[in-house]
Amino acid sequence: MKMIKQIFVFCAAALLLTACGSKTRDITSEAPADEAEAEQNVNTDDQLNESLNGLIKDEYAGLEITAAVLERKAILPGDAVPIAITITNNGDKTIIYNMGSGSFETPQAIQLDIPELQPILARDHLGIATLDMRSNELLPGESIEHTLYIRTIEPNENFNDYTYNKWQDEETYIGDIAWNDLQKEHNDLTPAATGSYEGTIYFLYYINEGEQVNPTLSATGYSTSNFTISVTD
């Protein structure tokens, strides 16, 4: 997998959201903290809908996506649940996808939607974002793997603020905090009811047909994988 790196004019609203070896040009600089923090104020549902607008579902038939709940024990209300995502290029063409800022390891091209639970921002998206935008290539036969986290609580409009503040003040990831401790600190967080919750992983990309790399890194297609989280007493 080859990494393509380009300069772009930083726009925090564009930050919507460890793979194979890569080659890069090292051109980075740091964005002011107030710009980097602006990501937390963007509505995730609006972001996702805007990201998918005009894209072709399953444009590339050779792409395989799996999303697996990693917990091997009962999932209780308030728990942080890891979702393991594997994306494999089983076809014969090269796929290009957006990584986002040069400081990110989790691609912005991977987006998670679970309307009734609370997604947790990726740990590597919480620091100061650099001003460079990168895209990666997924060559035929290659795979990438990433893990995202969900908290089994009702969606809360303040949760992203709590996530950023905890990281900036203490360098503590909110997904690592025990539920009892987190609830004491933020009593507006409500544990999810028992039951099954459906989620979807989206992967946005474009197909490299051998032409010059798309300078805007704009996706043309997307593929999905569904998963279920079962919350028990």
For position 154, which CATH number holds? 2.60.40.10
Q: Render the burial of 17-37: b for 16+ CB within 10 Å, e for the rest.
A: bebeeeeeeeeeebbeeebbb
Total of domains in the chain: 1
pTM over 0.85: no
Cα dihedral sign for 119, 224, 229, 154?
positive
- pLDDT value at position 217? 63
Q: How many helices (H) and strands (E) does the chain have?
A: 4, 11
Cα 151 to Cα 199: distance, rounded to the nearest angstrom:
12
Cα dihedral sign for 24, 88, 97, 115?
negative
Q: How many Cα atoms within 13 Å fall on the side-chain side of residue 141?
A: 0
Tens of each residue's pLDDT in the chain, 233 residues: 555 544 333 333 333 333 333 323 232 333 333 433 334 333 456 778 888 989 999 999 999 999 999 877 899 999 999 999 999 999 999 999 998 887 789 999 999 999 999 999 999 889 776 777 788 899 999 999 999 999 999 999 999 999 999 999 999 999 999 999 999 999 999 999 999 999 999 999 999 876 555 656 689 999 999 999 999 98
What residues make up the domain containing 47?
3-231
- pLDDT value at position 130? 72
Cα 48 to Cα 112: distance, rounded to the nearest angstrom:
9
